[in-house]
Homo-oligomer: A and B are copies of this chain.
Amino acid sequence: MESPLVRKLGCFTRLSAEETKALNEISRVKIRRVGAREDIIREGDTLENINLILEGWACRYKQLEDGRRQIIAFFVPGDHFDSHVFSLREMDHSIGTMNAVTLAELGREGLLALAERHPRIAQSLSWEIAVRFSIQREWTVSIGQRTAAERLGHLLCELFLRMQAVGLADATSCDLPVTQVDLADALGLSNVHVNRVLQELRANGLIVLRGRHLTIPDFQALAANSLFNPHYLHLGHEGRHLDAADE
C-alpha cells in the first residue's frame, strides 16, 4: 500500500524506487487511530513527533475566548503537521479530526535522517511546506475579499484538487467529510448562510453535495464562478514536465 505522502511529494519531483520505499516504510512504523471529532493536539502541547495523515481528514483550528471558532486549515491524507512548529515552544492552536483518522507518527529524527540521506525528499518536503504556506495566504485572500459564494466555491475547488493530488478523487468527485458548520467556521460565515449559498451553487448546477460526497460536474465553471486560480497550489509543475518526458 502506497503512502499518500509519496503520492503528494510525487507531484513535485519524481522519487526513486528507493526513496519511495523508504517513505512507505517510515509511514508504517507507528500507526495511531483517532476517532471522529476528537482533538489530536491541543493548544499548549509540545510536539514530539510529526504526524502524517494516512486516512481521514483533520483541521487546524483556533478558538477565541468567547467560543468563536476559526478553522485555519484542513488536512487531507498525505498532509502532515508540522515540521516547522518544532522551532516553537508550544502549539498556539489545536488540531482536531473531522472523521476517523489514521495517523503515522514519524519520529522527528527518523524523518530528518531520511531527508539528509535523500536530498530529493528534503527538497520535496520543503516544497510541501511552501505550498502549505501559500494555501494559508490564499485563505487570507478568500476570507478577506471574496463573497460568500466565491469563498465556498473556492474552498471546494481547492479541496477537490488536493484530494485528486493524492489519488483520492475520481474525475469529478471526492469525499468531503465535513459538516456545514465546519465549512462555516473555515470560511468565516454563519452555518445558515453556508446552507443558503450551498443551495445556490446546487441550483446553478455547479456542485452536487450529498452524504459527505462532493461532485463538481464542471470544474472550470465552478472555478470561474469562484475566481479560483490553481496556481497557488503549485501542483504538477515538475510532475507535468516529467510526465511529458515519459510519453
Chain A residues at the B interface, C-beta cutoff of 8 Å:
60, 62, 64-66, 68-70, 72-73, 84-89, 92-93, 123, 126-127, 129-131, 133-134, 136-141, 143-146, 185-188, 227, 231-232, 234, 237
Please tell me if the beta carbons of A70 and B123 are within 8 angstroms of each other in the complex.
no
Alpha-carbon distance between A187 and B140 when the two chains are bound, in angstroms? 9
Please tell me if the beta carbons of A70 and B234 are within 8 angstroms of each other in the complex.
no
Please tell me if the beta carbons of A144 and B227 are within 8 angstroms of each other in the complex.
no
Alpha-carbon distance between A145 and B141 when the two chains are bound, in angstroms? 15
Least CB separation from A124: chain B residue: B87
Least CB separation from A136: chain B residue: B136
Which 10 A-B pairs have CB atoms at the shortest separation, nearest pair first?
A144-B188, A87-B130, A87-B127, A70-B141, A70-B144, A68-B145, A143-B143, A87-B126, A92-B232, A70-B145
Alpha-carbon distance between A164 and B187 when the two chains are bound, in angstroms? 32
Copies in the complex: 2
Which residues of chain B are within 8 angstroms of A65 by Cβ–Cβ distance? 227
Given contacts A88-B130, A88-B234, A234-B88, contact A227 B137 (CB under 8 A): no
Which residues of chain B are within 8 angstroms of A227 by Cβ–Cβ distance? 64-66
CB distance from A183 to the nearest CB of B (A): 12
CB distance from A126 to the nearest CB of B (A): 5
Alpha-carbon distance between A232 and B69 when the two chains are bound, in angstroms? 16
Please tell me if the beta carbons of B85 and A130 are within 8 angstroms of each other in the complex.
yes
Least CB separation from A227: chain B residue: B64
Other A-B pairs, 15, CB within 8 Å; known A84-B130, A88-B131: A69-B145, A70-B144, A73-B137, A85-B130, A87-B123, A87-B127, A87-B129, A88-B234, A92-B232, A133-B133, A136-B136, A136-B137, A143-B143, A143-B188, A144-B187
